């Protein structure tokens, strides 16, 4: 399956939330959908689920207009939507039947997912009597009860301890391997890097970065180096480089325990290293810069303007 989000605009009154966003998702390749709070992620996902109507733009699946009611879609919203005073089994079966399952299928799938997620003992309990983490697992069971072909997960690891997070990781991998279409939204960058080959980063209602995460990282690492001195402080090292090698340097930034140096185009890493040694630097660490997704996120969406 191939899902296309094309030129989506959305306003609430006089406030424009989405400014013509576009990105694509392929089945069997999870897309990491990233953005700061208020950037427009949830609005986009709610338009996809037909909970909001866009002002302009379209959503296509395999080239045809996408209607969520024509497909089995598992949607885990960031704000949970189950009924706290209802029994777990009753509402999961109910939601399964709403999605077209027979009562027998809904009950079978409910029990299978409760067992898989380790909350079968709470089957006949009211949701409100469960811990936050177990309520999250019930919400996950509701997401998968219809055996969806399209899976939309908004902060799925919220409230899960490491053991239960590992169970969910296995489930997500299975969904991807089964060629499901998976959209994964999270502020926890490690999970995005673990599961997603492609990303789309939304900032202030606009897509500011999208594509292969591997290619994006390679581009961000181009002409960038990390440098650490065994004697001098980061501040001292930065001052020396700016005073003595400024003709080679496009930028020098302090990042954690080292410097990140960007060379001007055409300048060679080997030449920079030799000139640094000629200055008497005690180079303890020198490597090509490999940015994390968090580094890229902060660079593209870190301003507060």
pLDDT digits (tens, 9 = 90+) for 3-17: 999 999 999 999 999
Give the predicted TM-score (pTM) of the model.
0.81
H-state helical runs in the chain: 41-48, 88-98, 103-116, 132-144, 162-177, 189-195, 213-221, 234-244, 269-278, 293-301
- State the Cα–Cα distance between residues 29 and 240, nearest whole angstrom: 46
* Least confident window among 29-43, 44-58, 221-235: 221-235
Domain with 232 in it: what CATH number?
A: 3.30.70.100
Question: Would you say 170 and 16 are in contact if contact means Cβ atoms under 8 Å apart?
Answer: no
pLDDT in tens, 284-298: 888 888 888 888 888
Is there a domain that residue 275 lies in? Answer: yes
pLDDT confidence of residue 298: 86
Residue 187 lies in a domain: no
Domain span at residue 279 reads 222-301
Do 220 and 296 meet the contact criterion of CB atoms below 8 Å apart?
yes
Among candidate residues 180, 216, 191, the one with its CA nearest the CA of residue 201:
216
- pLDDT band at residue 230 using 50, 70 and 90 as cut-offs: confident
**Please, what's the largest Cα pairwise distance for the chain?**
77
Is residue 295 included in any domain, yes or no? yes
Q: Distance between CA 194 and CA 166 in Å, rounded? A: 12
Three-state DSSP state, 58: strand
Is the pLDDT assigned to residue 305 strictly greater than 50?
no
CA 191/CA 169 separation, integer angstroms:
9
Inter-residue contact 248 to 263 (CB < 8 Å):
yes
For 157-193, the pLDDT digits (tens) are 888 889 888 998 999 999 999 999 999 988 888 889 9
Q: CA-CA distance, 229 to 128, in Å (whole number)?
A: 55
Residues 6+ apart with CB under 8 A from 248: 263, 264, 267, 271, 272, 275
- Per the CB < 8 A criterion, the answer to whether 156 and 78 are in contact is no
Q: Which helix (H) or strand (E) holds 227?
A: strand 224-229
Q: How far apart are CA 92 and CA 115, in angstroms?
A: 13
DSSP 121: G
SS3 257: coil
Q: Are 77 and 86 in contact (CB under 8 A)?
A: no
Residue 124 domain-assigned (yes or no): no
Number of domains in the chain: 1
56-61/2-12 β-pairing: antiparallel
Residue 267: inside a domain: yes
**Nearest CA-CA partner of 292 in 199, 180, 162, 173:** 199
Q: Please report how many Cα atoms fall inside a 13 Å half-sphere around the Cα of residue 232, on the Cβ side.
A: 19
Query: Which residue did the predictor score with more confidence, 111 or 229?
Result: 111
Q: What percent of the chain has pLDDT over 70?
A: 99
Q: Closest Cα to residue 5, out of 18, 13, 16?
A: 18
* C-alpha span between 158 and 13 (Å, rounded): 31
Q: Quick one: DSSP state of residue 87?
A: B
How much is the average pLDDT of 103-109?
A: 95
């Amino acid at each position: 399956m191939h899902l296309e989000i094309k030129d989506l605009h959305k306003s609430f009154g006089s406030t424009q939330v989405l400014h013509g966003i576009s990105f694509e998702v392929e089945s069997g390749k999870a897309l990491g959908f990233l953005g700061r709070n208020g950037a427009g992620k949830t609005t986009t996902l709610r338009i996809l689920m037909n909970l909001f109507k866009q002002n302009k733009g379209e959503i296509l699946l395999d080239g045809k207009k996408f209607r969520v009611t024509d497909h089995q879609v598992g949607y885990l919203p960031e704000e949970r939507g189950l009924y706290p005073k209802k029994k777990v089994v009753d509402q999961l079966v109910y939601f399964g039947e709403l999605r077209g399952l027979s009562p027998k299928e809904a009950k079978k799938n409910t029990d299978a997912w409760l067992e898989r997620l380790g909350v079968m003992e709470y089957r006949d309990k009211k949701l409100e009597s469960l811990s936050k983490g177990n309520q999250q697992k019930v919400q996950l069971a509701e997401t998968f009860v219809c055996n969806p072909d399209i899976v939309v997960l908004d902060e799925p690891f919220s409230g899960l301890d490491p053991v239960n997070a590992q169970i969910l990781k296995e489930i997500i991998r299975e969904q991807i391997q089964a060629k499901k279409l998976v959209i994964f939204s999270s502020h926890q960058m490690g999970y995005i890097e673990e599961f997603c080959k492609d990303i789309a980063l939304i900032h202030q209602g606009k897509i500011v970065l999208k594509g292969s995460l591997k290619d994006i990282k390679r581009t961000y690492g181009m002409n960038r180096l990390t440098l650490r001195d065994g004697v001098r402080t980061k501040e001292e090292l930065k001052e020396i480089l700016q005073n003595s090698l400024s003709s080679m340097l496009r930028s020098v930034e302090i990042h954690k325990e080292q410097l990140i140096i960007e060379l001007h185009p055409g300048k060679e890493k080997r030449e920079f290293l030799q000139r640094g040694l000629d200055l008497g630097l005690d180079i303890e660490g020198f490597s090509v810069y490999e940015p994390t997704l968090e580094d890229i996120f902060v660079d593209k969406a870190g301003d507060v303007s």
